[in-house]
Structure 1
Amino acid sequence: MKQQGSVLLVDDDEDILVAGKLLLKRFFSDVRICNQPEHIPVLLSEHQFDAILLDMNFGPGESTGEQGYNWLDKIIAIDPQAVVIMITAHGGIDTAVEVMKRGATDFIAKPWQNEKVIATVSSAVKLGQSRGEASALRQTNQTLTKLTSKNSQPFIASASAMQPVMNIVERCAPTDANVLILGENGTGKEVIARAIHDRSTRSDNVFITVDLGAVPESLFESELFGHKKGAFTGAMDDRVGRILAANGGTLFLDEIGNLPMHLQAKLLAVLAQREVTPVGANKATPFNVRILAATNMPIDQLRDERRFRQDLLFRLNTVELTLPALRQRQEDIIPIATMYLADYARKYAKDGIRLSAALQDAFLAYSWPGNIRELKHAIERAVILCNGDELRVEDFQLSHAVTSVTSQIPALQSEHAVQDIASAHSTAPPELTQPTSAAGEQFNLEEIEKQTIAKALKAYRYNISHAAKALGLTRAALYRRMEKHGL
């Protein structure tokens, strides 16, 4: 059976060319011959060869091999990945060593033995195909890295409150220093992390994000460190952990403050040793990764050794920056809103839509407890539901956030208890109640649920994990309800 492969035979002896082609065609799908080495550049430009057999001497009386050396150098210059096998009737060990030093893969002496030629060329073809696949994979990986690491969302930071932050970013980004980013939920911590990566010397490498608040404790080591096949039930194949996947690039550890103490110790050990051992493996693998971390946990809580390991904190906060809340960035509110409006108008085919003057005033007066994330979701919802070419105050639900939370919301025992706890609040705004009917006062449970979730989110500064726990919900269930109510 023929092997898939393309072979070029270059020799000035017509008998060698004919015999070589007849032999090689029995084993390889594509065999081409050339009796003039001057045609080699054109042939290489028109075709990709898995292996090239090149004679060392061209012309009557030539035996020095200099012509072969020169053409070998030219082939390698044209294609550094080329697999070249040198052929000569004049040569020994010294000649073989010299051609190998110049980049040849193997050496065949004349007169050749057919079995040895086929074995040598078969190995060379496989090597050439492997090099081609590896080169294609490298190019694909580079393209994917650029696409996945590219910061698709521009970071608007013209407000005076953002200038100290941007000054720190500009100074620390070109270094490999670990950075800890603090700030409320929705302030753009991941976006600023990507901005640091884009300005770093690692910008051509991958940027990988891990939401530690969403990783189950039982899967923490597998997700970050990787695992070997058979390491535990369900480990059907080897898996590369996020740390090794980010090798050479940047790893962003989001919600680092939610990591339990016993897992903090494991993360600390890996960061301190700069090597990771996959689950089920016996050998540690070194890595070269820049660590960026973020949390909405206040700095005084991070410095409480009962909640967060101080030695891990010292590893993470070589540089520390705090993102201001959106309400502290008045100058940025309208530009950010305009950016999202353009994005969603294009997405939902509503070009030409704009913000009314009254709405811009309302945006500036609003406290935005959910920060940029809340603004983004509010803009998307309004674009979807609006009928005209101008967004108005009536298209947004901003009133619920101005109601202050006067007490902490007690933990609930189940998802179905949300309505029960909401009905216990006597301060519910009038608009949440339905008109009194003959059957007595009635309540809109959907609005009560929405109001309760909004209070919980504000009470816990939009920390999804804490708000979900207080409401007796899972993070996924809370996200579904937030999406349902446009929060």
Structure 2
Amino acid sequence: MEEQNLGRILVIDDNEDVLFSAKMLLRKHAREVVMEKNPKKIPFLLSNEDFDLILLDMNFTEDTSSGQEGFYWLKEILKYDPSAVVVMITAFGDVEMAVRALKEGATDFVLKPWQNEKLLATLSSAAKLRKSYKEVDQLKEVNRSLTAELNSPQTVLTGQSMAMHQLFSMIDKVARTDADILLLGENGTGKEVIARTIHQRSSRADKVFVTVDMGAVTESLFESELFGHKKGAFTDAKEDRIGRIEAANGGTLFLDEIGNLSLAMQAKLLTVLQRREVIRVGTNKPIPVNVRLISATNMPLKEMVQRNDFRQDLLYRINTVELHLPPLRQRLEDIPVFAEHFLATYAQKYKQPVKHLGASGLERLRRYNWPGNVRELQHVLERASIMSDNRTLEADDFFFLAEHEPPALTAEPNNAQSLDLDELERETVLRALQKHEGNISKAAKELGLSRGALYRRLEKYEL
């Protein structure tokens, strides 16, 4: 039998000779062997440490032969950890007692004095069972992530502009490493697409890619969602559940809208990233995790650090490499490439002939400012492909863009427009609010901002 293939083992027996014999035998085959004489310390041990196998005596000093103490502590162990793998040991065993032990949740049953080879074989089988339990838990969460990923709208990483060629070059360099990456850019520029591309080109490509929208995670559910929880940890915790970080173990974790985290949530996330381990809500047991971290935001994190709205140490942790995604209005030459892809996609989706972008249609799209970037372009093309009866989409097929076009700039000397960025941003926010009659959600969507980001600008400009 190979050494250290049994993980961490807890042996509970009131006989010191048994404990000594077990340790001498198992230390060559386990990563660690923890010995305990007093079964009353079981709750403390299980709440602070994680064990792959538990060897539990059935009879202690208060009851030398009935096995009732063993059955009691077996129930307590399984109450705390339903997936615990427990092997019962006793010197007063019979068939009836063995059957009862198995029915009540024990994995196996061995008699003292044991035969070393038989005990090792029993523990080896139990260790494989424990491993399978962990894999099932992780697969459940991975399945949730994959289902969400399959149901989410997909876009494409493409472009022929100089800005995109430079971005592609940087992606090729960083994808092969395990460096943590921070993606910066406006809403709709394709930060998640970039994150997926990096994952697909990395050494973790055959592992899971887990996305977490940090802007949608409330503070009350933050720890449960990211770190997981134990059954009964809070009112709605009806079963054990691993968190999104643990689900991404071995793969890539994408934290979108990371700038929306409160300082309290930032502190908790930083602790996990520094220690590379999570602790599920309701337990004290650290669980090691190995993830490649990619974060994204449309917010100015460095300015937020100066305002004490974002932790500087967390920024250093997440931005080993920074990638800046240019807005669509700065790479209009990419519009034809996106149009070809999206129109082909919608032709297949709606079972219609493939439509193409005409010269006037392309010119119409080039004149638009695209506050929602590629995501908005995608929706515009989808709407036009549905509504138009023409195979070629011309300017008239995008009539609905007119109301969103920015006012033309004037160059009148006595009425020169301000070039102060703060003043321009304030006026833009004010116009959006007026247009949508104070509706924050609609105004934020048109501006390409999250609700939180818009609220911060309202406070900044005292609107």
Bin the TM-score by the shorter chain: 0.5 to 0.7
Q: In structure 2, what is the equivalent of residue 407 of structure 1?
A: 427
1:285 lines up with 2:295 in the alignment: no
Paired residue total: 315
1:177 lines up with 2:164 in the alignment: no
C-alpha separation in 1, matches of 2:319 and 2:208: 22
Which digits, 9 at most, give the CA deviation of each residue in 1:182-221, with x for residues without a partner? Answer: 0000000000000100111000000000000011110000
- Which letter does structure 1 place at the counterpart of 2:213? D
- Which letter does structure 1 place at the counterpart of 2:453? H
After superposition, residues 437-448 of structure 1 pair within 5 angstroms as: none
Which digits, 9 at most, give the CA deviation of each residue in 1:12-49, with x for residues without a partner? Answer: xxxxxxxxxxxxxxxxxxxxxxxxxxxxxxxxxxxxxx
- Which letter does structure 2 place at the counterpart of 1:401? H
SS at match of 1:384: helix
Structure 2: gaps of 5 or more residues: 1-121, 408-423, 459-463
1:374 lines up with 2:371 in the alignment: no
Question: How much has 1:470 moved relative to structure 2?
Answer: 8.2
Larger radius of gyration: 1
After superposition, residues 42-57 of structure 1 pair within 5 angstroms as: none
Q: Please point out which of 306, 309, 312 is paired with 1:307.
A: 309
Contact 1:180 1:321 in 2 (8 A): yes
C-alpha separation in 1, matches of 2:240 and 2:181: 31
After superposition, residues 424-435 of structure 1 pair within 5 angstroms as: none
1:343 lines up with 2:330 in the alignment: no
Q: In structure 2, what is the equivalent of residue 189 of structure 1?
A: 191
Identity of aligned residues (%): 47
SS at match of 1:321: strand
Contact 1:148 1:206 in 2 (8 A): no
- Which letter does structure 1 place at the counterpart of 2:406? T
Q: In structure 2, what is the equivalent of residue 245 of structure 1?
A: 247
C-alpha separation in 2, matches of 1:295 and 1:280: 31
Which digits, 9 at most, give the CA deviation of each residue in 1:375-419, with x for residues without a partner? Answer: 0011111112112222222222222332357726569xxxxxx9x
- Which letter does structure 2 place at the counterpart of 1:189? K
Q: Please point out which of 447, 466, 481 is paired with 2:453.
A: 466
Question: How much has 1:148 moved relative to structure 2?
Answer: 7.8
- Which letter does structure 1 place at the counterpart of 2:401? L
C-alpha separation in 1, matches of 2:239 and 2:208: 23
SS at match of 1:186: coil
Question: How much has 1:158 moved relative to structure 2?
Answer: 2.1
C-alpha separation in 1, matches of 2:354 and 2:196: 30
SS at match of 2:334: helix
Which structure exhibits the higher relative contact order, with contacts defined as CA atoms closer than 8 Å and separated by 6 or more residues?
A: 2
Q: In structure 1, what is the equivalent of residue 236 of structure 2?
A: 234
TM-score (structure 2 length as normaliser): 0.60
Q: In structure 2, what is the equivalent of residue 331 of structure 1?
A: 333
Question: How much has 1:154 moved relative to structure 2?
Answer: 3.1
1:159 lines up with 2:161 in the alignment: yes
TM-score (structure 1 length as normaliser): 0.57
* Cα pair distance change 1:466/1:148, threshold 3 Å: closer
Q: In structure 2, what is the equivalent of residue 30 of structure 1?
A: none
Which digits, 9 at most, give the CA deviation of each residue in 1:41-86, with x for residues without a partner? Answer: xxxxxxxxxxxxxxxxxxxxxxxxxxxxxxxxxxxxxxxxxxxxxx
Q: In structure 2, what is the equivalent of residue 222 of structure 1?
A: 224
C-alpha separation in 1, matches of 2:437 and 2:389: 27
After superposition, residues 140-159 of structure 1 pair within 5 angstroms as: 153-159=155-161
C-alpha separation in 2, matches of 1:349 and 1:399: 29
Structure 1: gaps of 5 or more residues: 1-122, 412-417, 426-447, 472-487
Contact 2:277 2:289 in 1 (8 A): yes
Question: How much has 1:362 moved relative to structure 2?
Answer: 1.3
SS at match of 2:195: helix
- Which letter does structure 2 place at the counterpart of 1:360? L
* Cα pair distance change 1:227/1:454, threshold 3 Å: closer
Question: How much has 1:338 moved relative to structure 2?
Answer: 1.4
Query: Which deviates more, 208-217 or 382-391?
Result: 382-391
C-alpha separation in 2, matches of 1:344 and 1:156: 17
SS at match of 2:253: strand
1:199 lines up with 2:219 in the alignment: no
Contact 2:360 2:395 in 1 (8 A): yes
